[in-house]
Amino acid sequence: MTETLFTPLALGPARLQHRVVLAPLTRMRASPDGNMPTALNAQYYAQRATPGGLLIAEASPVSWQGHGHPNVPGIHTAAQITGWKLVTEAVHARGGVIFLQLWHTGRVSHSSHQPDGATPVGPSAIAAQGTTMDKRGQAVPYELPRALELDEMPALIDSFRQAAANAISAGFDGVEIHGANGYLLEQFLQSRSNVRTDRYGGSIENRCRLHLEIAAAVAGEIGADRTGIRLSPWGVANDSGEADPLPLYSHLVAELAKLGLVYLHLVEPRASGTGKADIVRDGQPSAAQVLRPLWPGVLIDAGGFDRDGALQAVADGRADAVAFGRYFISNPDLPRRIEIGAPLTPYHRPTFYGGGAAGYTDYPTLDA
C-alpha cells in the first residue's frame, strides 16, 4: 500500500494520525524577564494541535550561554519548565504530540545575551560574516567568538542531556536536537567554522563527534525513541556551508542511525535561508533523496514544500512526514487544508519575529 500524508505513522511511543508536522519556528514571543513561555505561547501551539499531529516547538536554549536572540524561551530553569507546561498541557488537551527543539547558538550569539556580557563561544575563534541580533533586537556585526576549551566539552554535552530531562519534566513527548542552520553543533561539524586540532576537529570523524556524543547523552537520558535530530546538509544560514557536504553528512547520518533515534529531520537546500528570506538554490540535490538510504527510521523532510510536493515526497518514500513552517504560521488548521485542498492564507513576514498576538494567534481557521 502506498503511504500518504494521511496514513498513520508510529513515532516511538506516539502514534501519529497524519504526517503534516509543524517545523520548529523561532517567534521571539517568550517573556523578556526569564525567557519563559506564557499563556500566549500556549494558545499559539494549541491552535495548531490536532489529534495525533506532531508539533516541534521552537528552538529553546539549553543554557544561558546558548541564548542568542531576544525573547526566546529556554529550557534550563525551573520557571521555564513551568512555562512550557502551559504549552504541553494545551497541546495534549487537543490530542496533539509535541517535541521541543534543543538549541545552542554558539558563535552567532552576541555578548549582550551572554551572562556578564561574556564573549560568545564557538569551536574556533572564527567570526561569522554578517550581522546578528543583540539583546535589544538591533542588528549588530557578529563578534569574534572564544574557542571552547577541551575541558568545557563535558559540561556542554551535559547541558543538552539536562535540557532533555527538563523537557520531559515539562510534559514534552520528546526532543529534537538542533544540529542545523549554522548554530553551535553545525559550527563544530563544518570545516569553515572548525579548525580545531584536538578530538573535535580536523577529520570528518572528529567534527561529527559532538553531534554523536550529544545524541547519545540525550538518548541515554530520555530514550532514543523520544530523541530526534535536525540537520541542514546544504544549508548556508548564519554563514554556514560545507564545500562538499556529502561525505561529511553521509558519515554523520550513518553513525546517528546506529543510535536508533526516533527520527531524522532534514532541511532541504531551498530552505537554506531559515526564514530570513526566500532562497532558491537550483542544482542542489534533495537532502532526503540522497540520505534516505542511510536512515532506517522515520525521516521528516522540510523546506519550501507545497501541498503537491509534500504528497509526492511521502508517496514516493523519500520522506515519512513533511514539516511546514511559514504556511503553518498563517494557517493554524494547515493539516485539514492540505487534506481537502483548501486555499492557504498568505503569511506576513514582518510579524514572524517578536510582537504579540498580531501575526501569531490571529490567523483565521477555515471555520472562522
Of 174, 176, 4, residue with least CA distance to 97 = 174
For residue 360, give the DSSP letter.
Answer: T
| Residue 365: CB atoms within 10 Å | 13
Q: Is residue 357 situated within a structural domain?
A: no
Residue 276 has a pLDDT of 46
* Spatial distance between the Cα atoms of 134 and 142, rounded to a whole number of angstroms: 10
Grid cell locating 94: 487537543
| Sole residue written with cell 499531529 | 53
Q: Is residue 362 situated within a structural domain?
A: no
pLDDT tens over the chain, length 368 residues: 578 999 999 999 999 999 999 999 999 999 999 999 999 999 999 999 999 999 999 999 999 999 999 999 999 999 999 999 999 999 999 999 999 999 999 999 999 999 999 999 999 999 999 999 999 999 999 999 999 999 999 999 999 999 999 999 999 999 999 999 999 999 999 999 999 999 999 999 999 999 999 999 999 999 999 999 999 999 999 999 998 999 999 999 999 999 999 999 999 987 544 444 445 546 678 999 999 999 999 999 999 999 999 999 999 999 999 999 999 999 999 999 999 999 999 999 999 999 999 999 999 999 98
Q: Is residue 89 situated within a structural domain?
A: yes
Grid cell locating 361: 494567534
* Residue 284: partners with Cβ closer than 8 Å, 6 or more residues away: 234, 269, 270
Q: Is residue 162 situated within a structural domain?
A: yes
Residue 277 has a pLDDT of 46
Q: Is residue 3 situated within a structural domain?
A: no
**Residue from 142, 183, 249, 263 carrying the catalytic annotation:** 183
Q: Is residue 366 situated within a structural domain?
A: no
Residue 284 has a pLDDT of 78
Spatial contact of 129 and 143, defined as CB atoms under 8 Å apart: no
DSSP conformation letters of 199-224: TTSSSHHHHTHHHHHHHHHHHHHH-G
Q: Is 40 helix (H, G, I), strand (E, B) or coil?
A: helix
Residue 275 has a pLDDT of 46
Q: What is the CATH number of the domain that holds 278?
A: 3.20.20.70
For residue 285, give the DSSP letter.
Answer: P
Residue 282 has a pLDDT of 60
Of 101, 112, 88, 56, residue with least CA distance to 324 = 56
| Residue 258: CB atoms within 10 Å | 9
Of 186, 185, 191, residue with least CA distance to 204 = 191
Q: Please give the tally of structural domains in the chain.
A: 1
Of 250, 261, 101, residue with least CA distance to 178 = 101
Q: Is residue 196 situated within a structural domain?
A: yes
Question: Which residues sit opposite 56 in a β-bridge?
Answer: 99
3-state helix, strand and coil shares in percent for the chain, rounded to the nearest 5: 35, 15, 50
Spatial contact of 98 and 45, defined as CB atoms under 8 Å apart: yes
Domain that residue 92 falls in: 9-351
Q: Is 360 among the catalytic positions?
A: no
Q: Is residue 356 situated within a structural domain?
A: no
